[in-house]
Amino acid sequence: MNADYVIVGAGSAGCALAYRLSEAGHQVQVIEHGGTDAGPLIQMPAALSYPMNMSLYDWGYKSQPEPHLGGRELVTPRGKVIGGSSSINGMVYVRGHAGDYDHWAESGAQGWSYADVLPYFKRMETWHANGQGGDADWRGTDGPLHISRGPRNNPLHSAFVDAGRQAGYPVTDDYNGHQQEGFGPMEQTVYKGRRWSAANAYLRPALQRSNCSLTRAFVRRVVIEEGRATGVEVERGGKVEVIRANREVILSASSLNSPKILMLSGIGPAQHLADHGIDLVADRPGVGQNLQDHLELYLQMACSQPITLYKHWNLFSKAMIGAQWLITKTGLGASNQFESAAFIRSREGVDYPDIQYHFLPMAVRYDGQAAAEGHGFQAHVGPMRSPSRGAVTLASGDPKDAPNILFNYMSTEQDWVDFRKCIRLTREIFGQEAFKPFVKHEIQPGIDMQSDDELDGFIREHAESAFHPCGTCRMGAADDMTSVVDPECRVIGVDGLRVADSSIFPRITNGNLNGPSIMTGEKAADHILGRQLSASNAEPWFHPEWQQSQR
């Protein structure tokens, strides 16, 4: 078997690459270990808590015991299915802030400033305002990825935005447009009531072409001959074989599996590879390092009116919602329920938002356990730019073994300062007039937890990953020893090999990572094809008083 381009991983970036490279007339072979995404558990937006917790669709990775979180091992879901993590995620769509990409460019990823990436975000989108306003000039109209907004029928969604305004924060009509900072409607990758994953948006149309095919197999390593990647060694049906690449191999296997495959292929920190008996091809100390993620908490409030989604938290109501969705693709089943959002700054002197909110009109955990109190609502909140860094390393030289993942969460004093601030700012928002008709009392953390020590204990016990791992194959200048890929996504020191997924992010972006990961696949495809879209001259909004005030 051979193709011009062999793409490892049918996830957010890999699907976009397959679509663009096959569109340009090249033979493309996509290799994916996971299986089909058919069925309501993945395709129904409201069922999002199911696929994330199913071994059928998830690699099942866990972190090492996290030393600053009381030794807890945190689950780290990654999609093992076509569409990758875009098939099991919460479907929240955030581009990230202009400041994120300008920081990338300043740290060595030339050509990835906001002016450079905005045209790719516009190319990939078809944006549906649904009559709810927004910045049409900043959005795309005919891309494969459909972006929509939930109906926002529940009065709690507008109470959240009103409370933000009353607390003195800006309101934004479109956080993916001119102004991210503020409170407003949240966007989701949902189209016609279905999860609009990278598989639905990109892979299915690509596979309609005769020059794009999908192979289900487990990738063991990249085959490198005389300094050039020539193919991929895979296992399928119990047999090991090689799929050849006439032009290039592209790893889009996630920020956990892409560095693992590089190291198994002899590309990584020399001593670490030697410890596992792997012959060195290229000494890249940055492979697996620079691991970042978003941590979050939810603050839960008991609701004094029976208007939350808790009234549907029973088998009969769930069955009715499921039936309506199956027949009409409408109703509560057609939204992820995250329909209001906010991005704010934690303090003066921070030039763009470093705290994100997801608001949910129900008090429920990620694993689907409802709060014992019954009717309630919650805000998911967490800092966006933690200074902590972790690593992905090999557990052994056996490709079948999961990698060792240590995020090293909360390893700096700044992490604790930022998280306490998140809790206190959220309490202030829930204390505004707009929530007076709805707030009964605070469920979690509980109003008795006020001191720094009490809040730290709560954070240590309850902080959860937002499932946004990235950074482990950092993109930067070719002469920087900590870089893994150059600004064209080429692995430094090996020909014919690229990495294109969230692992190349120099620093984590603001918000959820699915949008930036797809954009990475779109832009990497143009680097491979030797073309690029013209840079944008749009001027994003920064708070004019950011140096003096927090809001």
130 in a labelled binding site: no
Distance CA 166, CA 377 (A): 19
C-beta neighbour count of 304 within 10 angstroms = 14
Distance CA 57, CA 263 (A): 25
* Structure tokens that stand for 215 in this block: 């192979």
89 in a labelled binding site: yes
Distance CA 259, CA 256 (A): 6
Distance CA 201, CA 199 (A): 6
**Which amino acid type is present at position 223?**
V
Residue 290, Ramachandran bin (φ over 0: left; ψ between -120 and 50: alpha; else beta): left
* Structure tokens that stand for 327 in this block: 């027949």
94 in a labelled binding site: no
Phi, psi of 278 (to 5 degrees): -100, 130
CB-CB contact of 27 with 44 (8 Å): no
CB-CB contact of 133 with 118 (8 Å): no
Residue in the structure block whose two tokens are 């709810």: 132
CB within 8 Å of 490: residues ≥ 6 apart: 497, 498
81 in a labelled binding site: yes
Distance CA 41, CA 130 (A): 25
Whether the upstream peptide bond of residue 155 has omega within 30° of 0, thus cis, is: no
DSSP 3-state assignment of 307?
coil
Distance CA 38, CA 317 (A): 23
171 in a labelled binding site: no
DSSP state for residue 71 in the 8-state scheme: T
90 in a labelled binding site: yes
Q: Is 468 a catalytic residue?
A: yes
* Structure tokens that stand for 134 in this block: 């927004």
* Candidate list 103, 146, 468, 543, residue with the active-site label: 468
DSSP state for residue 72 in the 8-state scheme: B
Catalytic residue numbers, as ranges: 468
| Binding site listing | 81, 89-92, 219
Which residues line the annotated binding site for FAD? 81, 89-92, 219
